Structure 1
Amino acid sequence: MTTVAAYAAPAAKAPLERTTIERRAVGEFDVLIDIRFAGICHSDIHQARDGWRPGTFPMVPGHEIAGVVSEVGPGVTRFAVGDRVGVGCMVDSCRKCDNCEAGLQQYCVEGPTWTYNAVGKDGEATQGGYSQKIVVDENYVVRVPEGLSLDVAAPLLCAGITTYSPLKHWNAGPGKKVAVVGLGGLGHMGVKIAHALGAEVTVLSQSLRKKDDGLKLGADHYYATSDPQTFEDLKGTFDLILNTVSAPLDFGGFLSLLRTDGTLVNVGLPEEPVRIVLQSLFGDRRSMSSSGIGGIPETQEMLDFCAEHGLGAEIELISASEINDAYERVLASDVRYRFVIDTATI
């Protein structure tokens, strides 16, 4: 066991505070990672504040982890000391169901073991990346290509793969019109990746406040959803709409923007139930779906793609003492576009 410094929520809705946690000894197939940077995802706030379900406390959030391997178990073949690596939203799965065998560990039939706010196979609570070190089985670690600095790579382990996976699955690319709803931590990566894939990209945001940013990130068009005329002008336009907003929307209005056989994919997860009017799906064979992160092979593919195209997250680097302020700023949409903790400050 190794004692490491971390920032944890001692109870639901309580401010995070500095503490220490125990990391397991490095097993045969484990790697010990010195965490250099950890992104702050809106999911961290949902879970630290019991927004989705009752959590396990004390809770160390963080599933956007980038660092350097400092020790490997005797059976490890994929990594060596000094390698630059990342860990995303999960650290294990059953490994034997059809989904796991297909590299879709995020859809493990038994449920993946999440990086934090879960229980590992050893019966111990998992703790996340707001810490100095983490021990992870090599099969759930990915390599960060040299073309990406670790600070801008960290958010890719959630925000990057959460948008890359549906864009690839629904064939975003040349000749396709893609809309991204919301220009935040997820949305800004959705715009970058959709543009790099060759799609014609439109941002649909509440206001035009971030229009200049959206166009710089790769959007071809930018519309305000607070303007009713937007829904008239864009009716029947898009092949794919990627909704990154974690709040209820007028889904009927957004579904009306799809072409025949178009799909609206949700990657934002509201805390409250949402209402869908089924009639809004009829007439043009529209679909409404969702997507959850990505498997380990696809996460590596995403990192390689981002390195090839020079795509890192737009970040604001903060010290650990600023985590609680950062949470409030995320809720106020006051970040462009991802907070990343310098874990040397923990």
Structure 2
Amino acid sequence: MVQTKFQAYASLKPGEKLQQWEYEPTPLGPHDIEIQVTHNGLCHTDIHMRDNDWNVSKFPLVAGHEVVGKITQIGNDVNYFNIGDRVGVGWIRNSCRRCSACLRGEENVCRQGYTGLIVGNHGGFANKLRTTADFAYKIPDNLDSASAAPLLCAGITVYTPLRTYIKNPGMKVGVIGIGGLGHLAIKFARAMGAEVTAFSTSVSKEAEAKSFGAHHFYNWNDAEKMQQISGSQDLILSAGSSEIDWDKAFKLLANNGVFCLVGLPVSTLNIPLLSLVFGQKSVVGSVVGGRRFMNEMLEFAAINQIMPMVETMPLSHINAAMDKVANNQARYRIVLVSE
């Protein structure tokens, strides 16, 4: 049977603007689904992949890994979805399913290495997507598609460490960087019962940060204020993509505090060892999340009405949208809507 070609926006070479492109999809496997794409959250990772910053991109590249749409075809062995179901797909396409991490629902740290949706595969910047059904997620009815899309990467990226390290209500949680990740971190941390402090170099973001749920806001460049709250935070989530003063960040941590990186600045982390050892502090990283937390996060967001601040643009404006994200002009996530 002749396959119908999918219409996509692809980068044909590293660093090139995306252009209209079509490709022949792989046959629908017994464990696969086909999705009519309606919404794509635009993540900075899509730009990194376009530019091959991590040397893992394969071209032509169809990016897009915060995908929402409706199921149009179902593989023969898929018995938990129906045609027409609204589903989302995030960064992880598949994993080994057998290691101890996968069996815990932590496929994001699969011991064999998970398969990324857009690493060697085509993603959601297209009219349709075929992917593994087991890594698609039903979108709760009271989450609209434009709000749900960024949750599939940005949302799960901050939810996983917050869910892991917030042990009780009233914990003091600091969020460094009020952008696509940070504004969602504030919302989730507040809903989990934490006392939330936002840190930013952009003083103009104070009102917005507090509207997201931050109890306190501090200008990162105000040395006197930062000194006054030294040792105050039980958990700090570093959500920015720019290098910061790591020593300053560590001084904010309380004893037994956890410093967690989810943003990826291109830099070397210099850890102040005396503070680390004598304060019994921890430095951790966290990458997206597995199926256990993804399903939980979507339900938590629906119940608590945690939605990102989004700006919608037509998918055909993908290059303009990427420029806006690259220039730090998005407030706070751009969602591309299929036309």
The alignment's TM-score, normalised by the length of structure 2, stands at 0.96
| Alpha-carbon shift at residue 63 of structure 1 (Å) | 0.8
CA shift digits 1:155-189 (9 cap, x unpaired): 00001100000000002651101111111111111
| Alpha-carbon shift at residue 207 of structure 1 (Å) | 2.2
**Which amino acid is the alignment partner of residue 69 of structure 1?**
I
- State how far apart, in whole Å, the 1-side matches of 2:90 and 2:309 are: 18
Q: 1:183 is matched with which residue: 178, 181, 197?
A: 178
**Which amino acid is the alignment partner of residue 129 of structure 1?**
G
Please tell me whether the aligned partners of residues 8 and 16 of structure 1 are also in contact (alpha carbons under 8 angstroms). yes
| Alpha-carbon shift at residue 250 of structure 1 (Å) | 1.2
Q: 2:328 is matched with which residue: 315, 325, 333?
A: 333
- Tell me what 2:72 maps to: 70
> 1:30-69, aligned counterparts within 5 Å?
30-69=32-71
**Which amino acid is the alignment partner of residue 92 of structure 1?**
N
Consecutive unaligned residues of structure 2, counting only runs of 5 or more, are: none
Tell me the matched-pair count. Answer: 337
**Which amino acid is the alignment partner of residue 187 of structure 1?**
G
> 1:106-185, aligned counterparts within 5 Å?
106-116=108-118, 118=119, 125-171=120-166, 173-185=168-180
- State how far apart, in whole Å, the 1-side matches of 2:124 and 2:225 are: 40
Tell which deviates more after alignment, 213-222 or 23-32: 23-32
Q: 2:232 is matched with which residue: 227, 230, 237?
A: 237
Please tell me whether the aligned partners of residues 172 and 199 of structure 1 are also in contact (alpha carbons under 8 angstroms). no
- State how far apart, in whole Å, the 2-side matches of 1:229 and 1:23 are: 58
Query: Is 1:213 aligned to 2:215, yes or no?
Result: no
- Tell me what 2:85 maps to: 83
SS in 1 for 2:24: strand
SS in 2 for 1:99: helix
CA shift digits 1:23-50 (9 cap, x unpaired): 2222212111111100110111122112
- State how far apart, in whole Å, the 2-side matches of 1:168 and 1:149 are: 23
- Cα 1:36–1:240 shift into 2, 3 Å: same
Q: 1:276 is matched with which residue: 271, 292, 296?
A: 271
| Alpha-carbon shift at residue 139 of structure 1 (Å) | 0.9
Q: 2:292 is matched with which residue: 292, 297, 308?
A: 297
Quote the sequence identity (%): 37
SS in 2 for 1:209: helix
After superposition, the CA RMSD in angstroms is 1.4
- Cα 1:272–1:259 shift into 2, 3 Å: closer
Query: Is 1:267 aligned to 2:262, yes or no?
Result: yes
- Tell me what 1:103 maps to: 105
Tell which deviates more after alignment, 188-197 or 166-175: 166-175
Please tell me whether the aligned partners of residues 250 and 272 of structure 2 are also in contact (alpha carbons under 8 angstroms). no
Please tell me whether the aligned partners of residues 315 and 338 of structure 1 are also in contact (alpha carbons under 8 angstroms). yes
- Cα 1:226–1:184 shift into 2, 3 Å: same
**Which amino acid is the alignment partner of residue 143 of structure 1?**
K
- Cα 1:236–1:153 shift into 2, 3 Å: same
Q: 1:323 is matched with which residue: 281, 301, 318?
A: 318
- Tell me what 1:121 maps to: none
- Tell me what 1:122 maps to: none
- Tell me what 1:249 maps to: 244
Consecutive unaligned residues of structure 1, counting only runs of 5 or more, are: 119-124
**Which amino acid is the alignment partner of residue 149 of structure 1?**
D
- State how far apart, in whole Å, the 1-side matches of 2:254 and 2:15 are: 42
| Alpha-carbon shift at residue 136 of structure 1 (Å) | 1.6
| Alpha-carbon shift at residue 109 of structure 1 (Å) | 1.2
CA shift digits 1:46-100 (9 cap, x unpaired): 2211222352111111110111111111211111111111000011111111111
**Which amino acid is the alignment partner of residue 323 of structure 1?**
I
SS in 2 for 1:69: strand
- Cα 1:173–1:11 shift into 2, 3 Å: farther
Query: Is 1:22 aligned to 2:10, yes or no?
Result: no
| Alpha-carbon shift at residue 273 of structure 1 (Å) | 3.3
Q: 2:199 is matched with which residue: 194, 204, 213?
A: 204
- Cα 1:20–1:280 shift into 2, 3 Å: farther
Please tell me whether the aligned partners of residues 65 and 123 of structure 2 are also in contact (alpha carbons under 8 angstroms). yes
- State how far apart, in whole Å, the 1-side matches of 2:284 and 2:206 are: 27
- Cα 1:276–1:341 shift into 2, 3 Å: same
- State how far apart, in whole Å, the 2-side matches of 1:338 and 1:281 are: 34
- Tell me what 1:227 maps to: 222
- Cα 1:10–1:173 shift into 2, 3 Å: farther
